[in-house]
């Protein structure tokens, strides 16, 4: 990112500073740069951008020992989680990194993050999975969330992730087709029915990540809204619940207020972050699973989530 000379806002720059960095640090003979067609703010990173990055990795997979993806920090947890779910038979690391401060600024943390990430790939420091390297720490992509807009130590895995073994495949595969339209709804104590009704009546939304209270509590919805939930879910609509709390997991039945979740057929996200839940819903949507299959795959670990 560079500063706009007129507005002074940060805007996407070119890849030249990265090329210069590699030469100064003498990484040039070990590292090749493959750029997307256009440099964008990570806030504009959508399905098309994901498909472009996935295609670059797919086409170059056998040429390199690892991949380092440089992007803005604000959507990195979403994108890295989605890429993790969408890779099959991965036997080399895919690392995301960036910085809170742009690379060209003197106090930039991007310099340390970039150097550490490259060194880590070259010395086989990272596991053969998708992760984020930031502030001298590696994080599993499907467990991470951004917690700070200012400090360099900006990421956290709030809950313990599960062990998993990468699915063995004869060749590396990556899913690029993302059709799902997912909404995220955060419940509040002051009325949710109208917002939920609008979403449930929409014909363009495929599923909801519903951020509920505590260990899985929801308000006492009206019978009309409950029926709308049931009718929509019977037609293939998916509703996954995660906790608004940063730490801990969903524990259905702990409080009476969670009984409606079972009654409505909502799916538990256990201890998953919202970012990981969104990504997993997008990945599972293309598999065309029935309700029982979808719930089984969602509530069981695919990538250690």
pLDDT at 168: 62
Whether 191 and 285 share a structural domain: yes
Choose one of 155, 174, 193: the last residue of a domain: 174
Cα–Cα distance for residue pair 45/71, rounded to 1 Å: 9
DSSP 45-92: --HHHHHHHHHHHHHHGGG-S-EEEE--STTHHHHHHHHHHHEES--S
Residue-range definition of the domain harbouring residue 62: 2-174
What are the residues whose beta carbons fall under 8 Å from the beta carbon of 263, sequence distance 6 or more?
Answer: 226
pTM: 0.93
Whether 102 and 233 share a structural domain: no
Residue 80, CA distances (Å) to 44, 50, 138, 151 in order: 15, 10, 13, 21
Residue 218, CA distances (Å) to 17, 47, 186, 243, 276 in order: 49, 31, 11, 11, 21
pLDDT at 106: 83
Taking residue 204's Cβ as centre, other Cβ atoms within 10 Å add up to 7
Whether 160 and 197 share a structural domain: no
What ranges make up the beta strands (E) of the chain?
2-3, 10-11, 67-70, 87-88, 94-97, 130-134, 137-140, 145-146, 155-156, 173-174, 182-186, 207-212, 238-243, 267-268
pLDDT at 170: 66
Please check whether residue 231 lies inside any domain of the structure: yes
Q: Dig out the tokens for 294 from the structure.
A: 């979808």
Q: Are strands 10-11 and 2-3 parallel, antiparallel or unpaired?
A: antiparallel
Q: Are strands 155-156 and 145-146 parallel, antiparallel or unpaired?
A: antiparallel
Residue 290, CA distances (Å) to 103, 245, 268 in order: 47, 30, 16
pLDDT at 279: 98
Whether 168 and 88 share a structural domain: yes
pLDDT at 167: 64
Whether 37 and 128 share a structural domain: yes
Please check whether residue 190 lies inside any domain of the structure: yes
Cα–Cα distance for residue pair 76/199, rounded to 1 Å: 26
> What phi and psi, each to the nearest 5 degrees, are found at residue 155?
-120, 155
Choose one of 174, 209, 236: the last residue of a domain: 174
Q: Dig out the tokens for 23 from the structure.
A: 């030469």
Whether 168 and 54 share a structural domain: yes
The DSSP letter of residue 162 is: P
Q: Dig out the tokens for 115 from the structure.
A: 């150097």
Per-10-residue mean pLDDT of the chain, 305 residues long, equals 87 88 89 92 93 97 96 96 96 96 87 95 96 97 97 95 73 89 95 94 95 93 94 95 95 80 90 97 92 93 94
Cα–Cα distance for residue pair 157/160, rounded to 1 Å: 7
Q: Which long-range contacts (CB under 8 A, 24 or more apart) does 103-107 make?
A: 103/1, 103/17, 103/18, 103/21, 104/2, 104/13, 104/17
Whether 71 and 136 share a structural domain: yes
Whether 163 and 41 share a structural domain: yes
Structural domains counted in the chain:
2
Give the domain CATH number at 54: 3.40.50.1170
Whether 47 and 162 share a structural domain: yes
Choose one of 174, 195, 222: the last residue of a domain: 174
pLDDT at 259: 80
């Amino acid at each position: 990112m560079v500063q706009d000379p007129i507005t002074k806002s940060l805007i996407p720059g070119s890849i030249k500073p990265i090329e210069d960095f590699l030469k100064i640090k003498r990484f040039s003979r070990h590292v090749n740069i493959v750029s997307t067609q256009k440099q964008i703010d990570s806030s504009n990173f959508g399905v098309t951008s994901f498909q472009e990055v996935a295609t670059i990795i797919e086409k170059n997979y056998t040429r390199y020992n690892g991949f380092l993806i440089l992007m803005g920090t604000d959507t990195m947890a979403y994108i890295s989680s989605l890429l993790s779910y969408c890779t099959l038979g991965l036997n080399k690391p895919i690392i995301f990194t960036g910085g809170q401060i742009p690379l060209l600024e003197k106090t930039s943390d991007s310099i340390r993050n970039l150097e550490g990430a490259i060194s880590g790939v070259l010395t086989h420091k990272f596991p053969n999975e998708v992760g984020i390297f930031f502030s001298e720490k590696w994080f599993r992509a499907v467990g991470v969330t951004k917690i700070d807009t200012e400090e360099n130590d900006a990421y956290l895995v709030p809950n313990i992730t599960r062990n998993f073994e990468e699915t063995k495949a004869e060749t590396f595969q990556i899913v690029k087709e993302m059709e799902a339209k997912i909404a995220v709804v955060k419940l509040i104590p002051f009325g949710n029915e109208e917002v939920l009704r609008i979403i449930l009546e929409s014909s363009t939304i495929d599923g909801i990540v519903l951020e509920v209270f505590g260990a899985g509590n929801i308000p006492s919805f009206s019978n009309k809204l409950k029926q709308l939930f049931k009718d929509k879910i019977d037609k293939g609509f998916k509703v996954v619940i995660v906790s608004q709390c940063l730490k801990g997991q969903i524990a259905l039945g702990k409080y009476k207020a969670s009984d409606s979740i079972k009654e409505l057929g909502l799916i538990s996200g256990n201890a998953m972050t919202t970012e990981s839940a969104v990504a997993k819903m997008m990945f599972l949507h293309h598999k065309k699973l029935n309700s029982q299959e979808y719930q089984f795959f969602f509530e069981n670990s695919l990538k250690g989530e």
